[in-house]
Amino acid sequence: MSELHRFIIARNWMKSNEDFLTTWHAHVGYKLDLFKCLEKSKSVEQVAKECELNIALLERWVEVGIEVGHLKKGLAGKVKAKKKMVKYASADSPESVGILLREMMELHIPTLLKYPELLKTNERLTYLEDSFADIVAQTSTLLEKAAVPPILRWIKKEKPTSIIDLGCGYGGYLNSIHTKFPKIELHGVEINTELAAKANENLGKDVTISEGDMMEYIKNFQGKVDMVMAHNFLYYFPEDKRMDLFRNISNVMKKDGIVTFISPMMKAKYGQSFTSAFNAFMTAHENLYSLPTLDEIKENGKRVGLTLKDAKPLIKEGGWYLVTMKKMK
């Protein structure tokens, strides 16, 4: 009976790996733009020649794609990508989510696979921010689609005349705000040179983009603003340094100003499978830090005069929350 049970457990683990095959296949197709290449029916030999690919490996990829439902094979033996894969996993598609596959397969999963070694050696990896800045910035634009509407509602309600976006990336939030409320004075700061240059290119002269460290920027900012956006970076700060961040944010805000935080939240109602794995990824690096809890954000805010006004999930599956606080004094 124990051998039968062992077989059943092994079989269940094998079945669970089918989901990984789907993700792996989509990642390869996105990175090499194979779904776009196969938008029309082609033979494997034709694709290998056009894209300069190893034909034996391409054949295996095609076989997996047919089995997982990403590709279909015609009577003449030619292969064609399903429309959904062209739409959602082609680099030039406006509806593509393929960049999320790259972040998962090239950043998160390789780190988690190193866990046995890290556990035994007590060593930590170094997160190479410049190497992944573009990928992370692109995945952040997916989150923006969920975050922009509620942020615009807060702006309509609070009527700020000036806003700072800390770690503005490509400037997506600033662009959405400027389009809807062109009279608001907008400032963005981004430490990565290439992202800052891209934000300047995207936004033109109507929005001020500064390249540099966000902490130094808000310490030296002349004047005060009605709103600060602090999105997707709390985990870059050690827990004992987050208080300084909150204090500097509060210092640059006017009374009754608001600040919005976006982050995955530990100990929250939603998305704890993702957030616990994301927290494991953070802990594996010497220069990344634990995800916050809502209680931590509330306590840090309270100490610098910020009161919680709202905390709502943006993407429940990922545990991403939008937290809004107001400066009361």
Q: Tens digit of pLDDT for each residue in 186-195?
A: 999 999 999 9
**CA pair distance 266, 320, nearest whole angstrom:** 10
Which stretches of the chain are assigned E, i.e. beta strand?
A: 71-73, 79-81, 162-166, 185-190, 208-211, 225-231, 253-264, 306-315, 320-327
Architecture of domain 129-327: 3-Layer(aba) Sandwich (3.40)
pTM, entire model: 0.89
Residue 133 pLDDT:
86
Kindly calculate the radius of gyration of the chain based on its CA atoms and give it in whole angstroms. Answer: 23
What's the token pair of residue 40?
């029309």
Third-level CATH fold of 2-90: Arc Repressor Mutant, subunit A (1.10.10)
Specify burial of residue 96 (Cβ count, 10 A radius: 0-12, 13-18, 19+): buried
Q: What is the mean pLDDT of the chain?
A: 94
Structure tokens at 229: 């956006």
* Each residue's pLDDT tens digit, 78-102: 999 999 999 999 999 989 999 999 9
DSSP string over 176-194: HHHHH-TTSEEEEEESSHH
Domain residue spans of the chain: 2-90, 129-327
The CA-atom distances, in angstroms, between 14 and each of 7, 10, 175, 277 are 11, 6, 46, 21
266 and 295 Cβ atoms separated by less than 8 Å: no
Q: Give me the mean pLDDT over the 298-316 stretch.
A: 96
Per-residue pLDDT tens digits for 263-281? 999 999 999 999 999 999 9
Across 3-17, 25-39, 117-131, 208-222, least confident range: 3-17
